[in-house]
Amino acid sequence: MSIGIRTSLQAAAGLLLLGVAGHGEAAGLDDLVAAAKQEGQLTVIALPRDWRRYGVLIDSFKAKYGIAVNELNPDGGSGDEVEAIKANKANKGPQAPDVIDVGLSFGPGAKAEGLLQPYKVATWDTIPDSAKDPEGYWTGDYYGVLSFAVNSDIVKTPPADWSDLLKPEFKGSVALAGDPRASNQATMGVYAAGLAGGATDAVKAAEDGLIFFADLNKSGNFVPAIGKAASIAQGETPVLVFWDYNALAARDNLKGNPKVDVIVPKSGVVAGVYVQAISAYAPHPNAAKLWLEHLYSDEGQIGWLKGYCHPIRFNNLVETGKAPADVLSALPPAAGYAKAKFPTLDEQKAAKEVIAREWDSVVGATVAK
């Protein structure tokens, strides 16, 4: 990670934290494993198996510890995850999530609502202070940038920038990977479109992004469905606004059938940091803690790296020579990320509020699952 990106990541977290406490609960891994095995199950939510190689990470966790994993609502967004905690406070059954993986702005918000419990993994000190809650209520896990995943068998001239998506040749082609009122990925897509138009203020970018998608909808270019790898392949959403790691994974998994191009737009390049957290009402709190230990271990971090996203311990992995050379060489060229903007927490919050409130009235498209 370059100094510039690291500085931006610090801005994204909105905090420069010093003197973080020791590992606390992370001590005694053997005891934690035993307690987690006694619980016997982990419930995750909104983790599609082709999203950042989560299928591999989940299966390796099950194989390593013999703990069953209940996978809820794989197509849900960050807002759905938080709402699931709220809706299941008194429920210890299979619909209550133990852990969440949400956009950066959702972590502090969930903490403020008392929905999370603190935990610091064994590798806590190798995670940038700026990308974690000092008390351990949420921890940054990876980041990527928004890109266009394009079915090149259908789209012969791929879009180079956001403005291209308004052209007549993209009629019935462009989709978001979520509902902008609930999905962080989709919300940041609307925000990015506003930035591409020249807006610098978060509220203005959100407003301009809504206007852009309203124009996209009026032209018939917007597809009001939650796009995914399958919908790209089937031609339902030939152009999908997708985190780069999801787009690159889809490209690889489809193996040229169809051919998928992954394009980082010329402007409006937005980077997103995601965070892990444990529900304050987790039915399986020890399994949840062990899951975080799995994700923040070298094995887990390299697993995310193989999924084309930058794990939060990327600097440490490179500095210690633990990041495999072949994996590093498979990442997109660094030049494509030079213009990336890491929105601060305040910017994300401001944009999210505008987009959630005004999507229906300005765009008027119900994004169906």
| pLDDT at site 334 | 61
CATH number assigned to the domain covering 144-269+339-363 = 3.40.190.10
- pTM of the shown model: 0.74
Query: C-alpha 206: how far from its chain's center?
Result: 19
Query: C-alpha 39: how far from its chain's center?
Result: 28
Six token digits for residue 244:
């780069």
Distance set, CA 75 to CA 116, 187, 299 (Å): 22, 15, 25
Q: pLDDT digits over 185-196, tens only?
A: 999 999 999 999
Residue-averaged pLDDT of the chain:
90
Bridge partners, residue 151, by sequence:
260
- Element (DSSP H or E) covering residue 209: helix 202-218
Domain 3-143+272-335 -> CATH class: alpha beta
Write out the residue limits of the CATH 3.40.190.10 domain(s) in the chain: 3-143+272-335, 144-269+339-363
The phi, psi pair for 93, rounded to 5°, reads -85, -170
Distance CA 351, CA 128 (A): 25
Cα-only R_g, the chain: 20
User: Which distant-in-sequence residues (6+ apart) come within 8 Å of 4 by Cβ?
Assistant: 338
| pLDDT at site 162 | 98
- Taking Cα atoms as reference points, which of 314, 159, 323 lies closest to residue 241? 159
Q: pLDDT digits over 103-143, tens only?
A: 998 999 999 999 999 999 999 999 988 889 999 999 999 98
